[in-house]
Structure 1
Amino acid sequence: MTQKEGPLQADFVNGAVGHRLRFGGGRGQDLPKAMGLRSGKTPKIIDATAGLGRDAFLLASLGAEVTLIERSPEMHALLQAGMERARLEGNGYTEIIARMTLLHGDSKELLPNLEADAILIDPMHPPRKNSALVKRELRQVREIVGTDEDAAELLSVALASARKRVVLKWPAKAAPIEGIRACSHQILGKSTRYDVFMVG
């Protein structure tokens, strides 16, 4: 068994996340731009579908206060353990983790009682239509959290809860989520796009 086939964990120190922290390009990256981080502007953010916490960690590393919500007990436990390992790492990680608050629960129920300028939603993406295998890690996450059949409902709740914007992280070529109004603008990457809904 190779290391890549080991148990799933939320790792904020090593691998791709550590590399992105050191060499990622700061606020010029697509996600920070979509969330409204720019010179002199650091919104208060909720990551409503925390998963492995990588997007939340990136945003916190750029100075944002981020509340992470994860409803899967197993994924929440992985996040909790990963955040604690990073906190104990020191070297700046302690400060980043201090800007991250992890909640366990259903975002549809929690969001109306929380305050945020911007809400990020990254639901489990629809299965790929081509035959390319999804990364093992993503398959492991899908095995834990299943498919987010309530993505449209969550997006609606977020649109009613955010002060300034809601951002949907979605496959670049995937169709929009049905029943949701058109986004205000998009930021397109190679495989991912950010649909930005301005509110307020």
Structure 2
Amino acid sequence: MRTITAPVVVTATDSRRLAEAEMLAAQLGLPFVAEADPADESCAALLQYSEQGLQLQQTARKRRPGPVWVDFVTGAAAHRRKYGGGSGQMIAKAVGIKGGVRPQVLDLTAGLGRDAFVLATLGCEVTLLERSPLIHALLADGLARAADDPEVADIVARMRLLPADSIDWLSRAEPDSQQVLYLDPMFPHSDKSALVKKEMSLFQAVVGEDSDDAPLLEAAWPVAEYRLVVKRPRKAPAIEGRPWSYQLIGKSTRYDIYTKKKLELGS
């Protein structure tokens, strides 16, 4: 599992969840405080239970950005679920969704689960691997809250989250045992939105950047039955090593697709 590289303190702004926060702190091996000061310069971030859910809040900055948390029910996730373009989306084409084909997807770098949620919304069964205990906790909390919402409960039921280092997990997997593998390594993103900039800055400060994308690509290839999909910023270099088969290129995002055989209905 990936270690937390900067000081993080667990707390709760919702007093009803203090016991839960203390338990989470023990699980993660992090300090717990009943009351925390967002201006405290002794820690990089607060992992805090609020009324909205588990949030990661950056500290010790005069202009602190808002907290990072996982929300599959409202906001951007709800808008994309309703108006995102369905199977016409580039990510859908990248993983091979067409007609009645809905491949099973192994997401090797789950992060906050946004792409996995899109794929699950479109009908794919998605297994999510996340090696950072902190990010895993945020994602697990978001999935638990979404499971209680009648509008998205059936979607998140198609999402299975595992706390695992992907390279270790893949080393134990059988060859050709996963239909489609999906990889979106942490990379300085070309997306200029305040949300992405905030999340990238916070995660890079707390858990560091991904530096093993090439070994991950090589570990993933034997396990993929049909294809391996790598999401990149549009102008970013391809991952070194294996050459891609073809690309799908959008305004800010690109998908490098490594194919083995054609996905067909009933696969």
Instruction: Name the residue aligned to 2:144.
Output: 84
Q: Report if the CA contact (8 A) 1:35-1:165 is conserved.
A: yes
Displacement after TM superposition at 1:193 (Å): 0.1
Where does residue 99 of structure 2 map in the other structure? Answer: 39
- 1:170–1:25 CA distance, 2 compared to 1 (3 A): same
Amino acid aligned to 2:230? L
Partner residue in 2 for 1:5: 65
Q: CA 1:39 to 1:88, structure 2 compared with 1: closer, same or farther past 3 Å?
A: same
How many pairs are equivalent?
194
C-alpha spacing 1:11/1:144, structure 2 compared with 1 (3 Å)? farther
Normalising by structure 2, report the TM-score.
0.68
Aligned to 1:183: 244
SS in 2 for 1:117: strand
The 8 Å contact of residues 87 and 94 in structure 1, kept in 2 or not, is answered as yes
- The CA deviation at 1:164 is 0.5
Unaligned runs of 5+ in 1: none
Q: What is the letter of the counterpart of residue 85 of structure 1? A: R
Instruction: Give the letter for the 1:57 counterpart.
Output: F
The higher-RCO structure (CA 8 Å, 6+ apart) is 1
Change (3 A) 1:127 1:39: closer
1:184 maps to a residue whose letter is: S
RMSD: 2.1
SS at match of 1:89: coil
Superposed CA offset, 1:148-196 (max 9, x none) = 1110000111111110000000010011122x22211100011110000
Cα distance, 1:54 vs. partner? Answer: 0.3
Shift of 1:138: 2.3
Distance 1:199 1:126 in 2: 29
- Segments of 5+ residues of structure 2 without an aligned counterpart are 1-37, 39-63, 262-267
* Match of residue 109 from structure 1: 168
Q: Is the 8 A contact 2:140 2:161 kept in 1?
A: yes
- Residue in 2 aligned with 1:141? 203
CA contact (8 A) 2:188 2:200 kept: no
- Aligned pair partner of 1:171 in 233, 238, 246: 233
In structure 2, what residue type is equivalent to 1:185? Y
How far did residue 5 of structure 1 move?
Answer: 2.7
CA distance in 1, matches of 2:105, 2:217: 15
Deviations 1:113-137 (A, max 9, x none): 2632101100011476xx9986212
Per the alignment, residue 59 of structure 1 pairs with 119
Whether the 8 Å CA contact 1:122–1:169 is kept in 2: the answer is yes
Q: What's the offset of the Cα at 1:47?
A: 0.5
TM superposition score normalised by structure 1: 0.90
Aligned CA distance change for structure 1 residues 75 and 174 (closer, same or farther; 3 Å): same
Structure 1 match to 2:154: 95
Q: Is 1:24–2:84 an aligned residue pair?
A: yes
Residue range with higher mean Cα deviation, 132-141 or 72-81:
132-141
Q: Give 3-state SS (helix, strand or coil) of 2:148's partner.
A: helix
Which residue identity is paired with 2:162? L
CA distance in 1, matches of 2:235, 2:93: 20
Is the alpha carbon distance of 1:27 and 1:164 closer, same or farther for their aligned partners in structure 2, counting shifts above 3 Å? same
Larger radius of gyration, structure 1 or 2? Answer: 2
